């Protein structure tokens, strides 16, 4: 059995599905359940990470400080993880996260813009913190390009590095080639974070582990943007059946998933029309609500909006582009 570390961003990535409105009781309850199951890392925060609560991407129901202190108090065995996008969050946010007891700090960057993480990864290394770097929208770069950027992140101080399939675009062969190239280029653990837009998240995660990834992400009931993330309570037993040990108690994990479905989400994510289209278009799943709201007001087909955003290679943080696309499509329709 090859060990893999499961990283659970239910309380961070799942926020996208409920417009970042998770409250203290939900945060505490799920953190306690995941901890009891022996989940190695429980990540918490606004869906877009530290410092991101705003009018542009949505205000969180709970401040970063309260989210972190609540989850930290709830965890006895599990490590606490946080996520930050440079530009939304700052070094000040990283200092506060460490002060609150964050054990794993991930810095997310667009897959070809690793240099944006250099200062933050270097600072985390100086503090002795466990800083990771994840390359987002990774379908937009070749395996060789991703390996090069991953190696650069390690040079900046990352103690683990890997990919986010932010749009749920990949098929298993895509994951195998990219993770394999990164694993050959670095000497730190490789990460894979999947989304389920095309129904491939578990298969892609297994392919990642088989290609050398040693940190695999999953969310309870797949709780996350659009069609959701890799479904954690399915991922873990499938990994175990394919020769990877996670150290997670299955019944405890199923209990945590039941809590998540009951207390965190109106309904579990489904692979619906817009999720499929965003996956095919290669567009960030977190755009779903904004696209639907703007297109409904303008009388524009949201499917057309997603495909046009994909043509323009829109990335997370470019939410303003949604309005531009909807406006232009509305004029064309008239």
Residue numbers in the known binding site for Mn(2+) are 13, 193, 195
Cα separation, 301 vs 324, whole angstroms: 14
Q: What is the DSSP string of 10-44?
A: HHHHGGGGGTT---HHHHHHHHHHHHHHT-SEEEE
Cα separation, 237 vs 90, whole angstroms: 37
Q: What is the DSSP string of 295-318?
A: HHHHT--HHHHHHHHHHTT--TT-
| Contacts within 8 Å (CB) and 24+ apart, 285-290 | 285/16, 285/166, 285/167, 285/168, 285/195, 285/197, 285/224, 285/225, 285/226, 285/227, 286/16, 286/47, 286/48, 286/225, 286/226, 286/316, 287/314, 287/319, 287/322, 288/225, 288/226, 289/19, 290/319, 290/322
Give the annotated binding-site residues for substrate.
12-13, 166, 193
Decide: helix, strand or coil at residue 290: helix
Structure token pair of residue 309: 């955003």
Question: Interhelix angle for 172-185 vs 143-156, to 10°?
Answer: 40
Strands 130-136 and 160-164 come out as parallel
Catalytic site includes residue 149? no
Cα separation, 269 vs 262, whole angstroms: 13
* Rg of the chain (C-alpha set): 18
Give the annotated binding-site residues.
12-13, 166, 193, 195
Q: Quick count: other Cβ atoms within 10 Å of Cβ 294?
A: 21
Which residue of the set 16, 20, 46, 100 is catalytic?
A: 16
Q: Give, in degrees to the nearest 5, the angle at Cα 124 between 118 and 129.
A: 145
Decide: helix, strand or coil at residue 53: coil
Any idea which residues carry the catalytic annotation?
16
């Amino acid at each position: 059995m090859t060990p893999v570390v499961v990283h659970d961003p239910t309380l961070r990535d799942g926020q996208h599905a409920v417009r970042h409105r998770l409250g203290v009781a939900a945060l505490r309850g799920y953190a306690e359940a995941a901890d009891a199951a022996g989940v190695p890392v429980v990540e918490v925060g606004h869906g877009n990470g530290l410092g991101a609560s705003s009018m542009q991407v949505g205000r969180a129901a709970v401040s970063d400080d309260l989210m972190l202190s609540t989850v930290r108090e709830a965890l006895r065995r599990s490590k606490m993880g946080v996520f930050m996008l440079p530009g939304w969050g700052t070094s000040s946010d990283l200092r506060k996260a460490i002060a609150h007891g964050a054990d794993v700090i991930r810095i997310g960057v667009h897959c070809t813009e690793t240099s944006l993480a250099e200062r933050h990864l270097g600072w985390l290394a100086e503090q002795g913190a466990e800083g990771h770097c994840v390359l987002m929208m990774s379908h937009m770069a070749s395996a060789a390009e991703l390996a090069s950027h991953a190696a650069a992140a390690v040079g900046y101080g990352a103690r683990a590095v890997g990919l986010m399939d932010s749009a749920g675009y990949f098929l298993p062969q895509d994951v195998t080639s990219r993770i394999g190239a990164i694993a050959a280029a670095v000497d730190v653990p490789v990460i894979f974070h999947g989304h389920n837009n095309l129904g491939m998240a578990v298969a892609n995660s297994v392919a990642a582990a088989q290609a050398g990834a040693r940190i695999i992400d999953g969310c309870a009931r797949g709780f996350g943007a659009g069609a959701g993330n890799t479904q954690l309570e399915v991922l873990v037993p499938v990994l175990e059946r394919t020769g990877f040990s996670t150290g997670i108690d299955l019944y405890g994990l199923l209990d945590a998933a039941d809590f998540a479905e009951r207390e965190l989400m109106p309904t579990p994510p489904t692979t619906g029309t817009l999720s499929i289209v965003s996956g095919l278009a290669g567009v960030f799943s977190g755009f779903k609500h904004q696209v639907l709201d703007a297109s409904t007001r303008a009388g524009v087909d949201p499917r057309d909006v997603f495909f046009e955003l994909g043509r323009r290679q829109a990335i997370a943080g470019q939410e303003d582009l949604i309005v531009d696309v909807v406006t232009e499509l509305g004029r064309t329709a008239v």
